[in-house]
Amino acid sequence: MKKKSIWKLYGFAWVTAGFFLISLIGHWVFGWFAYANEQTQFGHPVEVNGYLIEMMRDTLENWQSEFLQLLWQVGGLAFLLYLGSPQSKEGDDRVEAKIDAILAAVDPKNADRVIDEIDQEYSGRHTDPRWAALREKENRGG
């Protein structure tokens, strides 16, 4: 099997990093022009030290209000979904159980066969213990 390059494997991350760097560089470049303009308007000297302090403050304010919030929303949600928190599993299992029950009500003769076919096609998706228990009970004649 051909091994994919790191550029293709992490393409989204590379594009995101590129946008991040471009926007950060643009922020600092245009910040310099705004700082220099402001300093000359008020007759103050344009100093790199003053510019660095102002831009670091502005950058950290932006990260606090935007980046960290988004990082928590996306990263925290992805982490919790990965761990399988009760909130993330509840929806899928519940929806699957409801769909299985609807299929059994609409077509009781073929429901088991159709559900088995779907389960085989999507192997590893046998996640609804309630439905499995009901099917087991029916198969025993109960």
Grouping H, G, I as helix, E, B as strand and the rest as coil, residue 60 is helix
Contact 58, 64 (CB under 8 A): no
pLDDT in tens, 45-95: 999 999 999 999 999 998 888 877 888 888 877 777 766 665 555 566 777
pLDDT value of residue 35: 96
End-to-end CA distance of the chain: 50
User: What pTM was estimated for this model as a whole?
Assistant: 0.49
Q: What angle do CA 64, 69, 71 make, to 5 degrees?
A: 110
pLDDT value of residue 15: 94
pLDDT value of residue 124: 52
